Amino acid sequence: MKHADVIVVGAGPAGCAAAWDLAHAGLDVLLLDRKAFPRTKPCAGGLTVKALLRLRYSVAPVIQRVISEIEVTRNGGRVSRFRARAPMVAMTVRRELDAYCLDQTLAKGARLLLAEAADVAQDAEGVSLTTAKGETLRARWLVGADGANSRVRRLIGMAPGERALALEGHVPIPATGAPHLRFDFERVRGGYGWIFPKADHLNVGLYTQAPGVTFGKSDLVAYAREAAGAETVEDMVGYPLGIGGAGYAPPPGRVLLAGDAAGMAERLLGEGLHNAIKSGQTAAAAILAAEAEADPVRAHRRALRPIQADLHACNAGAGWLYSGHPLGWMAMISPPGKSALSRGFAAGMTLAEILPTSPFALAYPVADLGGRLPAQA
């Protein structure tokens, strides 16, 4: 039987964020993942400034492009541009990002085991995890960071959370050069189409947070042809995003969830990397509080409040933007709206922080990203 202080299931951004902090604090951490890294992970690959600031280390080596201008449209109408005096988002490829973050976490002292969880049992002293191959692992705590289809969540008796849907693929950069990062809102009901420029290709995709809305590969090909002039789309893959985290309440016990497993992707844009990292760190902080004989569940619930406040703000924003009423759209693309959002994103702020302070957007500071972006940025 293998023993550790903490088992973390899922070695993506949420799991690595938790494992890095726990290993940094001196705990013995065992990371479980089903696949060897680098492995393909479907994701548009946009790292917001707030996500870059939240990471404990620079990911400059895997950043392919830095964005300070974003185009948005609605129902194929006029293009509006959001410009900032500093970066708003950095482009990466999840296969590279996840492998890099895992390397940093293993260098900090965490151990990796390629295995799949088949059963989880809790008692007063700890958690026993049985792998699909029948091996038993034992730890005082367990963090479930295994995505929107979280097996850990099911194994501890929690119902599946609410999900959004995304479908993405890759197309070549046009001969005219890479376009701006772009959101085409209402390209699908309750969502948008996107174009994210990378170093050697464009990531194109469709997203919806509306229940019951579906789309397929033919829809993505049609969008790629219309928006990027592409005739074919390579590496198409669909995936769910966990978006119900505003109501997530950690149950009593020794298992904490993070990232999409806890529904921490926000509904408005489906952005999940920042909240994955932050919720992984809050789970680690709760476990470290427990090591100091505090109540981990209460500590975790308290630490999640800022994340959930932003999820509530994004839920409200999605309600306005995707309702079909023009007021939400007009507020977003108005000069004050564009100023607040552009400056706020460049400052590394969440929507919950931007909304109540938007009249003072001109005073937002530019985030200090020293060393966190490639030198040419």
Closest Cα to residue 310, out of 278, 342, 284? 278
CA–CA separation, 206 vs 213, rounded Å? 11
Q: Name which CATH class applies to 163-242.
A: alpha beta
pLDDT reported for residue 147: 94
End-to-end alpha carbon distance in the chain: 48
Helical residues (DSSP H) of the chain, grouped into ranges:
13-24, 49-54, 94-107, 151-155, 217-228, 273-291, 296-321, 326-333, 335-346, 351-357
- For residues 285 and 301, the answer to whether their CB atoms sit within 8 Å is no
Closest Cα to residue 22, out of 35, 34, 5, 9? 5
pLDDT in tens, 153-206: 999 999 998 999 999 999 999 888 888 999 999 999 999 999 999 999 999 999
Strands 136-144 and 255-257, sheet pairing: parallel
Domains of the chain, by residue range, sit at: 2-45+93-161+243-323, 163-242
CA–CA separation, 147 vs 10, rounded Å? 8
CA 74 vs CA 220, 234, 313: distances in Å? 17, 26, 21
Please check whether the domain covering 2-45+93-161+243-323 is classified as CATH 3.50.50.60.
Answer: yes
Report residue 373 CA to chain centroid gap.
19
pLDDT in tens, 229-253: 998 999 999 999 999 999 999 889 9
Decide if pLDDT at 137 tops 80. yes
Is the whole model's pTM more than 0.85, yes or no? yes
